[in-house]
Amino acid sequence: MHDDRDLVEARLRRVLDERIRPAVHPESVPLEVAVWHAPGEPVPVAEGLAATPGPIAVGREWGRPWGTSWFTVTGVVPREWGGRVVEAILDLGFAEDRPGFQCEGLVYRPDGTPVKGLNPRNQWVRVGSPAEGGEEVRLHIEAASNPIILGRDGFRPTALGDRETAGSDPLYRLGRMDLAVFDKTVWELVMDLEVLGELMLELPVDSARRWELLRALDRALDAIDLQDVNATAAAARAELAGVMAAPAAPSAHRISAVGHAHIDSAWLWPLRETVRKVARTAANMTALLEDEPDFVFAMSQAQQWAWIKEHRPEVWAKVVKAVATGRFVPAGGMWVESDTNMPGSEAMARQFVHGKRFFIEEFGVDNEEVWLPDTFGFAAGLPQIIRAAGSKRLLTQKISWSQTNAFPHHTFLWEGIDGTRIFTHFPPVDTYNCSMHGHELAHAARNFRDKGVARHSLAPTGWGDGGGGTTREMVAKAARVHDLEGSPAVRWETPAEFFAKAEADCPHPPVWVGELYLELHRATLTSQAKTKQGNRRSESLLREAELWAATAAVREGAPYPYERLDRIWKTVLLHQFHDILPGSSIAWVHREARRTYELVARELDEIIDGAQRALAGDPSGGTLLFNGAPHRRHGVPAGGAAPEPAPAPARDAAGPAARVVPRDGGGYVLADALLKVEIDARGLVVSAIDRRTGRETVPPGRAACLLQLHPDFPNKWDAWDVDAFYRNTGTDLTEADEVRPAGGTDGGTVVVRRSFGASAVTQRLTVDGGRLLIETEVDWHETEKFLKLAFPLDVRADRYASESQYGHAYRPTHTNTSWEAAKFEACNHRFVHVAEPGWGVALVNDSTYGHDVTRDVDAHGTTTTVRVSLLRAPRFPDPETDQGVHRFRHALVPGATIGDAVREGHFINLPERRVPGSAPVAPLVTVDDDAVVVSAVKLADDESGDVVVRLYESRGGRARATLRAGFPVAEVVTTDLLERQTGEPRREGAEVPLALRPFELVTLRFTRA
Ligand SMILES: [Zn+2]
């Protein structure tokens, strides 16, 4: 037989495009359109409905950037349409190729009832099937003219990313606004032709099934009268019935389709717009669930649910009803789909506490699945937190974005730093916006790496980010591939149903140990420095606020600020969303984030101050030093307060404060009893001797505290990515404008000033208690540059430790394999630690996350260089990223053990507070082993007055310790993160013996006597 494949395939494409799809709505009449443009920010629904609109014609421009326009459309169903299905086609001026990321609408009836959202691929509203015709139609559309930020021309800088710079030129042109007859048979024919045509193209050319499909499609097209598609569609469908009825092979891959809309809680739009995006999508999905009995939709991020409840009660009512059917499913159990690299231990825990609690309290749903399709890598501390929250499964899709190495599994056990294993699935469909296209389904089946031992995968299906979620077309296509020869078998299922099958499928899954590093988006550890600092500062302040408020409540009966802490936690958790904390949102989002973090800090300082004053007693009696860190400092116990010794706090076994003396050959020497640092005439640290051992920290001929400036223009994703080639070129900033002692009361400090490009930097170096403290102030006005602070260390190390949640993880310093080479920029929390047996160095920070560690070998041997990432200056999506003044604090701690690194990391983030008062404050809890770190002391969220203490083994070893409660205890129980009892109650009094495994996390709940 002659090969006419190309001819028939091209025929199918053209006839579908030009004849069959247009025949879905064969008759139409225009609607009358009027519009009212809200003058500023979005207005309440009632106000939009009540406004008086003026006329606007189809084809006219509308919509300044970030504006809201309320359209009113009116019309009458023609008498002759009686008995036929009628829809309104409402095209706001959509660009078809970007579902989401552009204008959107939510349709209301005149009484304020939401109908559904309008999105580029969801432009219809069912008017009904009036028996007689003549029915009057009146609909209102709350339309948002959100600009396209990431357009066809890629990652070009744009001023559209902030209302304040976006201008007022209209962005959209009103498209078709019609009443139209909907021909269901033609629409079904389109679905048949798409499903079979797409499937055909995925099958091997030498397979019989491919040719059977080709011949059937050819016959179906023959059956169409191109002048009267509507009259002949049924005949065309009949030609396809045979091939459509052929069942799937027994070995066919099984796909659990989960209706979904991945909605970024802020990204290329501000937070306030996400509130509306979520409402539009939820309105669409509740409507679709009513039409489609098999369909299942899952929505994640408790915050987004809470927004609907608070801001769109009319949509919330529909959601609540849909949840009761079991087919509108709360997915995951986090407050937002947060970043997981940067959030600190407690914040990561609270993502689960607040997320799970919302779903439990609202719906009685306690999910065991964690839903993080889009997060940029997964820290090795996470598995234990997932388990401690009462969950046990994880879904993410993002690792498929890795640039270098293909992850070897799609279904596996992920083992974290403490040994906890979480059943994990990466959907092989490689997208969280599956559209049920034949190519996607075939890719999932082909790509699935666990064939032979497992058969199930999950496909999150629907347009996210304002695309409206799952469409009726996706549901129609899924129905056709439920059991179809040549296709994976698809059915709608909840995430829990999928995981139950996947676990049954795969009783002995492979194991992946350690972080799930995303080999992409590495610059998200550095971009938007102030957002990152705001997060770190907020986390530290929340720790202090809970600790001191709980102490004041237990000791003084002071009221505990439950409501305020709950609200502030949720704010901080929201800002850990995977485009806010990573710095990948538009300028508007980060401008608001900076302001929000300021307000958070102010309110937490107020809570801390109030609690400390309540504890401090008579303010005329001197000064108390409050130590909020988990280790004793300056004679003050962890979590306690003691009178400040006059005139200055004694240094920890360090003797008198450091002094500055001139150095031979220029520069200065800074030294105390523990550390002697030489700063040369260039202002660089050329020597740092640990005086206890005599060990030199800086390799011969090298200089530490060296600023290095690299060009930084990635190929794509400017705020997200730093590409490996950035390291090929760069400048060492060795020229100093000034190197001098600070003088005055700040006598133990050397000040170094430099200027470069349009920027300037001032560093203040101080030696204190064996640490070299470095305060770096940068007035940053570069573009597309990367600023690093380098510390070459005379340490031979094959690996180094970075703090993660509730512990630390090791990474190699070499690049033996492509996996190691790809980790050229990685995340730390408060410390990085590099060591040889018996001696190590810690580098701690108060707000930076990105770093790299490399090794060199020269005539002197192997050395290790730790470089901290300070600032970047990408121009997309925020063209002014990081411009302005920044302050960072770091400390180099020669001679540090891993335990010292843990302690110093806490110290630099939790400075002591001086409060007028005289009454020492004994800690609420003490632990007699420094390896055990108390990460939270608070009152129980249920407002019972119980004291909750969370602690963990911090050094990666075993710890036997005793925890003593400094208050009368009736009973103590172990709990999960949600403070739900997990162990038997114990009543031995105020002492709790602890035996912890490496990095083990424990939550204790004390009922007070
Ligand atoms: Zn996302």
Is the Cα torsion angle 13, 242, 216, 252 positive or negative in sign? Answer: positive
Mean pLDDT of 417-433: 97
For residue 580, how far is its CA from the centre of ligand 1 (angstroms)?
A: 10
Give me the pLDDT at residue 656, please: 58
* Residues having C-beta closer than 5 Å to ion ligand 1: 264, 374
* Contact present, 132 and 140 (Cβ < 8 Å): no
Instruction: Read off the pTM.
Output: 0.97
List pLDDT tens digits, range 959-1001: 999 999 999 999 999 999 999 999 888 877 889 999 999 999 9
For residue 352, how far is its CA from the centre of ligand 1 (angstroms)?
A: 18
For residue 476, how far is its CA from the centre of ligand 1 (angstroms)?
A: 26
Q: Is 310 a residue whose pLDDT tops 70?
A: yes
For residue 262, how far is its CA from the centre of ligand 1 (angstroms)?
A: 6
Identify which of 808, 24, 142 has the alpha carbon closest to the alpha carbon of residue 417.
808
Percent share of the chain, pLDDT over 70: 99
> Quick one: tokens of 730?
């760069």
Give me the pLDDT at residue 725, please: 98
For residue 333, how far is its CA from the centre of ligand 1 (angstroms)?
A: 16
For residue 720, how far is its CA from the centre of ligand 1 (angstroms)?
A: 12
Active site residues: 374
For residue 465, how far is its CA from the centre of ligand 1 (angstroms)?
A: 8
Q: Helix H segments across 836-918?
A: 898-909
List pLDDT tens digits, range 353-387: 999 999 999 999 999 999 999 999 999 999 999 99
For residue 269, how far is its CA from the centre of ligand 1 (angstroms)?
A: 12
Query: How would residue 745 be classed by pLDDT, with cut points 50, 70 and 90?
Result: low
List pLDDT tens digits, range 111-166: 999 999 999 999 999 997 777 778 999 999 999 999 999 988 889 999 999 999 99
321: DSSP letter: H
Task: Render 31-98 in DSSP notation, one character per residue.
Answer: PEEEEEEESSS---HHHHHHS--EE--TT-EE--TTEEEEEEEEEE--GGGTTS-EEEEE-SS--TT-
Give me the pLDDT at residue 990, please: 86
Is the Cα torsion angle 698, 701, 702, 703 positive or negative in sign? Answer: positive
Cis peptide before 877 (omega within 30 of 0): yes
List pLDDT tens digits, range 231-283: 999 999 999 999 999 999 999 999 999 999 999 999 999 999 999 999 999 99
**251 sits in which H/E element:** none
* Contact present, 464 and 229 (Cβ < 8 Å): no
**471 sits in which H/E element:** none
CB-facing half-sphere around the CA of 156: CA atoms within 13 A: 7
Rg (CA), the chain: 31
Which residues touch 656 (CB under 8 Å, ≥6 apart)?
672, 673
Q: Which amino acid is at 337?
A: E
List pLDDT tens digits, range 781-818: 999 999 999 999 999 999 999 999 999 999 999 999 99
For residue 398, how far is its CA from the centre of ligand 1 (angstroms)?
A: 9
List pLDDT tens digits, range 436-468: 999 999 999 999 999 999 999 999 999 999 999
For residue 374, how far is its CA from the centre of ligand 1 (angstroms)?
A: 5
**230 sits in which H/E element:** helix 229-245
For residue 595, how far is its CA from the centre of ligand 1 (angstroms)?
A: 23
For residue 303, how far is its CA from the centre of ligand 1 (angstroms)?
A: 14
For residue 375, how far is its CA from the centre of ligand 1 (angstroms)?
A: 7
> Quick one: tokens of 876?
């997309």
For residue 404, how far is its CA from the centre of ligand 1 (angstroms)?
A: 21
For residue 267, how far is its CA from the centre of ligand 1 (angstroms)?
A: 8
Which residues touch 548 (CB under 8 Å, ≥6 apart)?
607, 608, 611, 612, 615, 626, 628
List pLDDT tens digits, range 883-895: 999 999 999 999 9
Among 625-639, 687-701, 745-759, 895-909, the least confident range: 745-759
List pLDDT tens digits, range 479-535: 999 999 999 999 999 999 999 999 999 999 999 999 999 999 999 999 999 999 999
Query: How would residue 746 be classed by pLDDT, with cut points 50, 70 and 90?
Result: low
19: DSSP letter: I
Query: How would residue 1 be classed by pLDDT, with cut points 50, 70 and 90?
Result: confident
Give me the pLDDT at residue 651, please: 45
Give me the pLDDT at residue 654, please: 43
Query: How would residue 646 be classed by pLDDT, with cut points 50, 70 and 90?
Result: low
List pLDDT tens digits, range 22-35: 999 999 999 999 99
Across-strand partners of 790?
A: 706, 867
Placement of tokens 């996607």 in the chain: 440
Q: Where are the beta strands (DSSP E) in 184-282?
A: 254-259
327: DSSP letter: -
For residue 376, how far is its CA from the centre of ligand 1 (angstroms)?
A: 9
For residue 973, how far is its CA from the centre of ligand 1 (angstroms)?
A: 38
For residue 491, how far is its CA from the centre of ligand 1 (angstroms)?
A: 25
